């Protein structure tokens, strides 16, 4: 036995989760290499809304790596991030959808880049501070993605599109840990990030004003259109469908005895359709571009718990495979504000079976 340590590349955002994960890997005897991906907010050349706001995170990650005694690298992925994530984000809004950039970023930027660099550095695994678990199942002969033990912080929803070859190389050190314990562990290891606030929003739009962000970049522009009810009656006008999302109540600016909600967005007619809360209720959805984790493909109906957005608790549903590769998801009880562009992720207890992207029902 050579005694050579197994090398792990860990992605460091500069927050408490990833830096604590790095400390835990060291404690477990791994040879750890820290990498921060320079993407949007830490790209000073963009001089956008956030300017160089993430430089502090890079500094924190560098200081933690120095304290832990591990190598640290910064990889500039800002150009790829712009092409893959920001452009996707803009194109979805133009189509009247509500995008989920975190899923795209995880699959195509974060884990793709970390795994490629791990191969170059002779590392067997990559790690992040996500609250999720990866285990190999002898029964299925596949790598399975599972919810994190802390269900309030579980991030498996954002990871459903990861492929088998990616899952095989991933370690989530915080998968079995609760968030409050993470902070305790950070303090135990004297990490300066122990009390650092965490970001809850999309990283490149911290103020949540997505439309203004895209407008400022010149990726979308105002285009006047009609606001109508579900019978087609003209109620008012809007400045662009990208300013709206399904289920939205604020910002419609139409006086009525009962509040209006956005119930549909039609990019072809440039119309925003509004209605009552009851108009937001639906029993089913269709999902495309499905990624299956528990098995290669879905060949028969399956009862699952389906999450239609990250903060959705999940609801019992039957997933029905279609010949064209899409799936019909039929909920056992009606759901509110099913939104095209969001991910629908399927669970069996704590296992992520797979998921797909919600499209407008035909």
Q: Tell me how far apart the alpha carbons of residues 181 and 186 are, in angstroms, rounded to a whole number.
A: 9
Catalytic, out of 44, 52, 102, 203: 203
Q: Tell me how far apart the alpha carbons of residues 348 and 294 are, in angstroms, rounded to a whole number.
A: 10
Catalytic, out of 65, 102, 105, 290: 105
Q: Tell me how far apart the alpha carbons of residues 104 and 129 are, in angstroms, rounded to a whole number.
A: 17
Beta-bridge partner residues of 273: 228, 264
Does 105 qualify as catalytic in the annotation? yes
Q: Tell me how far apart the alpha carbons of residues 282 and 330 are, in angstroms, rounded to a whole number.
A: 9
Tokens of 72: 């640290």
* H or E segment and range at residue 104: helix 101-105
Residue with tokens 């399975």: 144
Q: Cα separations (Å) of 265 from 256, 312, 342?
A: 20, 21, 14
Q: Tell me how far apart the alpha carbons of residues 102 and 288 are, in angstroms, rounded to a whole number.
A: 18
- Residues that are catalytic: 105, 203
């Amino acid at each position: 036995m050579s005694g050579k340590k197994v090398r792990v590349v860990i992605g460091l955002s500069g927050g408490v989760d990833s830096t604590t994960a790095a400390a835990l890997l060291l404690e477990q005897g791994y040879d750890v290499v820290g990498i921060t991906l320079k993407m949007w907010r830490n790209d000073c050349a963009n001089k956008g809304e956030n300017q160089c706001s993430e430089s502090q995170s890079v500094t924190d990650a560098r200081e933690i790596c120095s304290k832990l005694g591990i190598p640290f690298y910064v990889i500039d992925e800002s150009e790829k991030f712009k092409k893959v994530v920001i452009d996707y984000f803009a194109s979805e809004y133009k189509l009247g959808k509500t995008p989920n950039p975190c899923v795209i970023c995880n699959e195509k930027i974060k884990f793709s880049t970390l795994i490629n660099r791990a191969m170059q550095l002779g590392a067997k695994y990559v790690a992040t501070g996500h609250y999720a678990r990866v285990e190999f199942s002898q029964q299925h002969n596949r790598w399975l993605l599972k919810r994190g033990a802390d269900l309030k912080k579980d991030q498996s929803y954002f990871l459903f599109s990861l492929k088998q070859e990616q899952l095989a190389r991933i370690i989530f050190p915080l998968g079995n840990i609760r968030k409050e314990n993470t902070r305790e562990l950070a303090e135990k290891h004297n990490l300066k990030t122990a009390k650092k606030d965490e970001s809850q929003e999309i990283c490149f739009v911290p103020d949540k004003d997505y439309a203004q962000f895209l407008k400022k970049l010149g990726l979308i522009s105002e285009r006047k259109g009609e606001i109508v009810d579900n019978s087609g009656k003209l109620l008012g006008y809007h400045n662009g469908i990208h300013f709206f999302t399904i289920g939205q109540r604020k910002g419609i600016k139409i006086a009525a005895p009962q509040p209006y909600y956005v119930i549909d967005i039609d990019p072809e007619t440039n119309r925003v359709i509004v209605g009552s809360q009851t108009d937001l209720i639906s029993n089913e959805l269709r999902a495309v571009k499905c990624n299956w984790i528990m098995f290669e493909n879905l060949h028969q109906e399956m009862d699952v718990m389906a999450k239609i957005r990250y903060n959705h608790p999940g609801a019992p549903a039957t997933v029905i495979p279609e010949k064209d590769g899409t799936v019909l998801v039929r909920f056992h009880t009606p759901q509110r504000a099913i939104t095209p562009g969001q991910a629908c992720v399927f669970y069996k207890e704590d296992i992520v079976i797979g998921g797909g992207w919600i499209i407008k029902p035909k």
